[in-house]
Structure 1
Amino acid sequence: MKPSFTRGLIAAAVMIACAPAGAADIAVPAPATATAAPASEQGKRLNALADEYYDALARFNPVNASENGDNRFADQIGMSISPSVRAKQFAKYHDFQKRLHAISRDKLNQRDQTSYDILAWELAIALRLEPFPEHLLPLNQMDSMPVTLANYSSGQGAQPLTTVRDYKAYLNRITQLGPWIDQAIANMREGMKRGVVQPKAIMLSALPQYRKLVAAKAQDSIFYTPIKDMPAKFGNADKQVLTDGYRRAIETGLNPALQRLVTFIEKEYLPACRTSTGLSALPNGMDWYLARVAEQTTTDLKPEQIHQIGLKEVARIQGEYARIGPKMGYNGPAAGLPTWVLQQPKYKPFKTDKEVIDVYRKLDEKLKQKLPQLFSLRPKTPLDLRLEPELSRATASDHYTAPATDGTRPGVFWSVVNDPKEYGSTGMVTLFLHEGQPGHHFHIALMQELNLPNFRKFGGNNAFTEGWALYAETLGKEMGLFDKPEDYFGHLNDEMLRAVRLVVDTGMHAKGWTREQSIQYMRETLGYPESLAKSETERYMAWPGQALGYKIGSLKIQELRHRAESALGNKFSLPKFHEIVLGEGTLPLSLLAAKVDRWIAANK
């Protein structure tokens, strides 16, 4: 799915990719034992607190809530980057933590103990990030409120646009965007004073996005798109009110604010941006990065350990390249296989968008026959396959979006085809296993059907979410989907990207690597052209630590499967193992390991 990463403050459970749990270097105080209320009373207190916590998160960052299927606040964008709002949010976290520790964990049932542990961990990591001024870096080339809302204008993303009420909700959001932009500018000016600024390279990449959002007149604005696509069923009076409202909001508020933003970045911010690459170059930057690593991996692994894991995985996968290359007609050095594949016309067979999506639809039908053998627990919510709207194709990559819990939107696999003649076929199987099923869809859609507390239903952490999806890719081998060597190469190549991420992310943010070193390493290891190595490198610069969760999570799930297979022998059931992994939604890796160990002990 689209990588999620909180801007301004960790909104622990609201965004996929945020909350970690169980890291040894995060102190989670032991629960108080003074209270002696009955177990049911303790459970009620916990669940009431959890609901209050989640609502505070959703109100703090309602756009993230929308992304995760909660449309209750679809008319709000929140002001999480405001220093005063941010301070109030942290005060709430401190209060929630104090109240949580007044609940007796040992008097809770197993399900509530898990909720307790997740909540304790999320609050601990949120408060660990409190000292770091994330709000002073509100914009980058990967995510920002203006671009997110612009992409919503198609009505096919997380912002529904089918009713008059939906149109009014989006109008409210774009009306609030002008003040958000002015707060972002104020924050960046403060960052300039304190030496907390973005690398110049990523802001040079971001600037064209913001320039495109400025329109000569309201009708030319991307934010006016809903008016051009207004449903015929709307009454004339509603159409007029909405048309006037959108035009006025864009002309008098949003467009001038966007122009102020572009001018500020060009004239003031870019000259003040830094030439350094990693987060550790900022004040307290190394501690900031260590907190991000803990958050994104849900472990106490240190950057050097992760770096070495990455190098080891790179070497292992290159060994597989050496084995698969000759089967594809390649007999050069193993490291050169990806470059060779990119140069082969036979692996770019498409002429139209429809040909691309038809391959995915055929694969989806095949998986519907094969997955019941591997999964006893599957989501009831359907998966839809769609082409990314032209509006957002240039800045998007193939991804998954969560279903809406009110049933108005299924889970969706989005295929992004800018030029079908350049769309490579080798990675399609593994991509769909990751972004479609049994990857993100089996996890995210199922999570909404498990009757979990809202903070778990709509929340999660990056290591489990992306780790599960990367593990799901490996299942292609036992389903016979990698029988063609080019499809197995595609799987290996995606695995290699996740291994390389461990190396370059820790390299740039902890070991002093430059942007140019990362680009060169990616070109040599992945065979990427300069442009792709640049965009990938700059992604990791903008999102420190985010890319670490994939491989760390996947390796942990694979390790737990091997542990269970070894311990249980012929009693091991793969569908049951998958049920154990997915059956309580997203868990920090330490809690997942404990759950698998309990299952092993009960069945040994």
Structure 2
Amino acid sequence: MNVHTLGDAFFDRLNRHDPLGASLVGLTAYDALLPDPRAAADEAAAASFQETVLAFTPTDGDAVARAFVAGGGDAVARAFVAGGGDAVARTFVAGGGDTRARSLTPAGGDAHALVAGDGLLPGGVADGFLPGGAADGDDIDRDVLRWMAGTAAEEATHCLWEANASATAYASPQALFFMAGSAQRLHGAAAFFDGLADRYREASGRGRPSTRAGIAQAVTQLDEQHARFDGNVRAAMQRLVETLRGELSAVARDDEHVGILHVRGGEDGYRAAVAAHTTTDLTPREVHDLGLRLLADLEAEWSRLGQQVFGVGDPAAVRARLRDDPALRFTTGDEIVTAVAAALDRAHAAFPGTARCLVEPVDDPAAPPAYYLPPAADGSRAGTVCVVTTDPGQRSTFGSEALAFHEGVPGHHLQAVASQALMALPDYRRYVDTRLGAYVEGWALYAEQVAEDLDLYSSPLARLGRVSFAAVRAGRLVADTGMHAYGWSREQARVFVRAHTALSAAGVAQEVDRYIGWPGQALAYSVGAGEILRLRTLSQAALGPRFRLEDFHQRVLGSGAVPIGALATIIDRWVRS
């Protein structure tokens, strides 16, 4: 069986196992399906995915890519994380706006030169750039398939979600249902909710109890969603609530034991989650230490921009001002939507070849501040930035532009539209989100810097907002590993995040609780973005005057979603060619 036939079979099996996730990435063919919550279903899926991994033997070929997928040292990514600091990349991820990063733009650092033509992607994304596909051959397809199948097998084996009942978007099955559910799924919804109650109960009995905090959030979310349903679906939701409130709460992990290491199999599961979300073999300790270094590098940027905006140079004082000044908060949900839409208007003007993305308000206190839904494969849904408008007084004005660029253009929307346009690639590389998070989230974080290169931020305060977001992503590396690898309490994580970011008290609580419920995902952003910039720096050094930033971006986005080690192989081949 060739790699494409094998890949098609794997991707269909994956999407039938996780049809809610399939709907979120735009694959409408699975919109009538629901996941089977039974442990036996996960065991069968894990065995099937493992068969894909074992279905072919790696052939002679690119040693770097094969070593990466096999987990043999991952020297490429490790060079960024531990190799002497790679000051350019570290300053980008943590510090933002550093002139060394901006000096990589064409025309001697003239940021506006990037806007020539259709911006960073000549010919426009909508025209289907990189004709013929720049996937770099079947060996990359094979390596991506082996990686995705292997991590899917690990995920279905460890099933961290069963030990983490919560309301966390993307991680919690019932939260996924509320995000991706449709009328087509109602016929099986009652059995789905009853199955979840059984699964959480069984997991707790196997030494994998959920957290008290997560259970409370799940109950609140279910109560809030009751009005959307009736009949047997509402009754099943109520039975799930009663199970969570009753027997599961009685044995739940308290706030001192929120880390996944406190459940049976949790340590092994977390190591697998770190590998899956970073697409590397980095250890939790290495990731933790990286986060500390990035936060230390950030201090100079806090000081520089704080002095410019507030006349205050002490980083802690700058963060306190951003956190506590009520003038830097929205007053209505409409203001949030307007601010995000205005930033995206400027971004779309810089990328006129890119299909417009929509901006839609969402009232969901459990959701992150914003999230992105890619275009549906059948054209029934446009790419959409969903902006949470709940409790606007807790949402910062200074962060709205970085949020827009991350979720929309040049971030997730640009990357998703680019991937979907690559018709020569297999679908498992065109329709993917969190399963290759270091690439997907790494690009979106890197895009916040690209917006700076293009002078898309409207003010020094907005640029300070980007630094604030960079601190959140760096802090995630420390807090996530702190809780799940080193046993930090919920309060320890909150204290750390508050000390190093400008998040409000409510923002800190939501940030920490999100990653209690989704171990490892927090690590994708900074690891992926740092590697993309490292490859940009190396490419510029190797090509000298022949380097064009738009060509580099074309190659990164023209590869489709890949593990970052495979991306390094693709960029290396491009430079050598």
TM-score normalized by the length of structure 1: 0.78
Q: 1:268: which partner in 2?
A: 247
Q: CA deviation at 1:578?
A: 0.1
Q: CA deviation at 1:262?
A: 1.3
Query: Residues 2-28 of structure 1: CA distance to partner in whole angstroms, max 9, x if unpaired?
Result: xxxxxxxxxxxxxxxxxxxxxxxxxxx
1:174 to 186, 190, 202: 186
Pick which of 582-591 and 323-332 moved more: 323-332
Q: 1:73: which partner in 2?
A: 30
Q: CA deviation at 1:97?
A: 2.6
* Counterpart check, 1:549 vs 2:555: no
* Counterpart check, 1:415 vs 2:387: yes
* Counterpart check, 1:222 vs 2:228: yes
1:568/1:438 CA distance change after superposition, 3 Å:
same
One-letter amino acid matched to 1:277: V
1:141 to 154, 167, 171: 167
Equivalent pair of 1:500/1:522 in contact (CA under 8 Å): yes
1:88/1:298 CA distance change after superposition, 3 Å:
same
2:407 to 435, 459, 462: 435
Distance (whole Å) between structure 2 residues aligned to residue 545 and residue 354 of structure 1: 33
Pick which of 120-129 and 461-470 moved more: 120-129
Q: Pairwise mapping of residues 472-511 of structure 1 onto structure 2 (< 5 A)?
A: 472-482=447-457, 484-511=459-486
One-letter amino acid matched to 1:592: L
Q: 2:375: which partner in 1?
A: 403
1:565/1:483 CA distance change after superposition, 3 Å:
farther
Q: 1:361: which partner in 2?
A: 341
Q: CA deviation at 1:420?
A: 4.7
Distance (whole Å) between structure 2 residues aligned to residue 56 and residue 316 of structure 1: 44
* Counterpart check, 1:454 vs 2:427: yes
> For 1:407, what is the secondary structure of its paired residue?
coil
1:341/1:565 CA distance change after superposition, 3 Å:
same
Q: Pairwise mapping of residues 194-233 of structure 1 onto structure 2 (< 5 A)?
A: 194-214=206-226, 221-223=227-229
Q: Pairwise mapping of residues 49-448 of structure 1 onto structure 2 (< 5 A)?
A: 49-79=6-36, 81-101=37-57, 110-129=136-155, 131-134=157-160, 136-137=162-163, 139-143=165-169, 144-151=172-179, 170-214=182-226, 221-223=227-229, 250-251=230-231, 253-275=232-254, 276-331=257-312, 333-348=314-329, 352-371=332-351, 379=354, 381-388=355-362, 390=363, 392=364, 395=367, 397-420=369-392, 423-448=395-420
Distance (whole Å) between structure 2 residues aligned to residue 148 and residue 306 of structure 1: 28
Distance (whole Å) between structure 2 residues aligned to residue 558 and residue 538 of structure 1: 30
Distance (whole Å) between structure 2 residues aligned to residue 422 and residue 280 of structure 1: 32
Query: Residues 484-526 of structure 1: CA distance to partner in whole angstroms, max 9, x if unpaired?
Result: 2211110100000000000111111112211111111112111
Distance (whole Å) between structure 2 residues aligned to residue 484 and residue 105 of structure 1: 49
Pick which of 305-314 and 178-187 moved more: 178-187
Equivalent pair of 1:136/1:191 in contact (CA under 8 Å): yes
Aligned residues: 498
Distance (whole Å) between structure 2 residues aligned to residue 316 and residue 578 of structure 1: 26
Q: CA deviation at 1:63?
A: 1.2
Equivalent pair of 2:275/2:282 in contact (CA under 8 Å): yes
Distance (whole Å) between structure 1 residues aligned to residue 297 and residue 316 of structure 2: 12
> For 1:72, what is the secondary structure of its paired residue?
helix
1:301/1:578 CA distance change after superposition, 3 Å:
same
> For 1:400, what is the secondary structure of its paired residue?
strand
Equivalent pair of 1:105/1:116 in contact (CA under 8 Å): no
Equivalent pair of 1:135/1:187 in contact (CA under 8 Å): no
Equivalent pair of 2:448/2:466 in contact (CA under 8 Å): yes
1:532/1:46 CA distance change after superposition, 3 Å:
same
1:286/1:91 CA distance change after superposition, 3 Å:
closer
> For 2:137, what is the secondary structure of its paired residue?
helix
1:596/1:282 CA distance change after superposition, 3 Å:
same
1:421/1:291 CA distance change after superposition, 3 Å:
closer
Q: Pairwise mapping of residues 16-55 of structure 1 onto structure 2 (< 5 A)?
A: 45-55=2-12
Equivalent pair of 1:146/1:177 in contact (CA under 8 Å): no
Pick which of 409-418 and 570-579 moved more: 409-418
Q: Give the ranges of 4+ consecutive aligned residues of structure 1 lying more than 6 Å apart after TM superposition.
A: 102-106
Equivalent pair of 1:324/1:489 in contact (CA under 8 Å): yes
Pick which of 485-494 and 416-425 moved more: 416-425
2:537 to 562, 568, 571: 562
One-letter amino acid matched to 2:137: R
One-letter amino acid matched to 1:95: E
Q: CA deviation at 1:532?
A: 2.4
Q: CA deviation at 1:175?
A: 2.6
Equivalent pair of 2:221/2:366 in contact (CA under 8 Å): no
Query: Residues 179-216 of structure 1: CA distance to partner in whole angstroms, max 9, x if unpaired?
Result: 122222222222222111112122122221122334xx
Equivalent pair of 1:481/1:487 in contact (CA under 8 Å): no
1:87/1:131 CA distance change after superposition, 3 Å:
closer
Distance (whole Å) between structure 1 residues aligned to residue 26 and residue 422 of structure 2: 15
Structure with higher RCO (Cα < 8 A, 6+ apart)? 2
> For 1:414, what is the secondary structure of its paired residue?
strand
Equivalent pair of 2:480/2:522 in contact (CA under 8 Å): yes
5+ long unaligned stretches in structure 1? 1-41, 152-157, 160-169, 215-220, 224-249, 373-377
Q: CA deviation at 1:338?
A: 1.9
> For 1:386, what is the secondary structure of its paired residue?
strand
Distance (whole Å) between structure 1 residues aligned to residue 324 and residue 259 of structure 2: 33
Distance (whole Å) between structure 2 residues aligned to residue 125 and residue 135 of structure 1: 15
One-letter amino acid matched to 1:366: R
One-letter amino acid matched to 2:396: G
Equivalent pair of 2:361/2:389 in contact (CA under 8 Å): yes
> For 1:399, what is the secondary structure of its paired residue?
strand
Q: Percent identity?
A: 30
Distance (whole Å) between structure 1 residues aligned to residue 281 and residue 173 of structure 2: 31
| Alignment RMSD (CA, Å) | 2.3
TM-score normalized by the length of structure 2: 0.81
One-letter amino acid matched to 1:78: P
Distance (whole Å) between structure 2 residues aligned to residue 585 and residue 135 of structure 1: 28
Q: 2:561: which partner in 1?
A: 586
Distance (whole Å) between structure 1 residues aligned to residue 339 and residue 543 of structure 2: 38
Pick which of 395-404 and 574-583 moved more: 395-404
Q: CA deviation at 1:442?
A: 0.9
Equivalent pair of 1:100/1:120 in contact (CA under 8 Å): no
1:571 to 536, 543, 546: 546
Query: Residues 519-570 of structure 1: CA distance to partner in whole angstroms, max 9, x if unpaired?
Result: 1111211143433222211111111111000000000001111111111111
* Counterpart check, 1:528 vs 2:503: yes
1:403/1:206 CA distance change after superposition, 3 Å:
same
1:435/1:471 CA distance change after superposition, 3 Å:
same
Distance (whole Å) between structure 1 residues aligned to residue 265 and residue 41 of structure 2: 23
Distance (whole Å) between structure 2 residues aligned to residue 104 and residue 546 of structure 1: 33
> For 2:28, what is the secondary structure of its paired residue?
coil
Query: Residues 457-510 of structure 1: CA distance to partner in whole angstroms, max 9, x if unpaired?
Result: 212511000000000001122212346221111010000000000011111111
Q: CA deviation at 1:584?
A: 1.8
> For 1:406, what is the secondary structure of its paired residue?
coil
1:596 to 535, 556, 571: 571
1:581/1:258 CA distance change after superposition, 3 Å:
same
